[in-house]
Homo-oligomer: A and B are copies of this chain.
């Protein structure tokens, strides 16, 4: 049924992606400027580096999907044989871990995300949530990795799965007067809210435009037994992800507020 679609993507991947190449070159030039500061051979081949490989991997996943990412194809993309990559990454698995880490850290360079509350904890959490959402939406193919890679510890919950972000989160709430248990409870609620929404949003983006999508305009026989689905099709097809996100975020903030004040009473 859906096999044909799936079988396709693992095969040929013509690597015509000028923008990718440019981005890499740019990134490396930046790095050199900082480190070597002025004596790089002018027209020499840009050398490989871990960062360059990871960036290329993210770009490749964004363009061709995760299953399309192959050490050999990634090598070709970088103008190099696959074996060369192993100087910088231990294995494909290691590369995928690095991709997740880089994605999560991308928020640090997001100007709208602040690292400690300036206008109250609600604003703080709102910026954090929107920052993660921006990442998810700009890397819809790669984002699911953030959820599916095994975490380093059970309490390092996706999508805020780095020590640094957990620290930022807890420190922020602490500074805003949250008690210890309340901060942790808020962290838990926040992560599961974010993960559910963003994964769903991202999965909707990648949904097959299959036979079920024609469902609205006619009485498709395959929908025969599903009267309610058919009747509600117009509503189901509407995309409310943005407002849904805002509403759920509001609700979450209310819950967090409850958590906060409840703790004040009891402990």
Contacts and interface: CB of A to CB of B under 8 A. Distances in A.
Interface of A: 1-7, 89-91, 93-94, 97, 144, 147-148, 150-158, 163-164, 166-167, 170-171, 174, 180-181, 183-184, 187-189, 191-197, 199-200, 203-208, 210-213, 215, 223, 225-229, 231-232, 235-237, 239-240, 244, 248, 251, 255
A171 B244 contact: no
> Within the oligomer, what is the number of copies of this chain?
2
A4 B231 CA distance: 52
Nearest to A188: B244
Nearest to A6: B93
Contacts of A193: 196
A196 B192 contact: yes
A232 B184 contact: yes
A72 B39 CA distance: 53
Centre residue among A167, A181, A205 by max chain B CB count within 10 A: A167
A154 B204 contact: yes
A183 B166 CA distance: 36
Contacts of A196: 191-197, 199
B231 A151 contact: no
A129 to B, nearest CB: 13
Contacts of A203: 147-148, 150-151, 157-158
A144 B206 CA distance: 16
B208 A170 contact: no
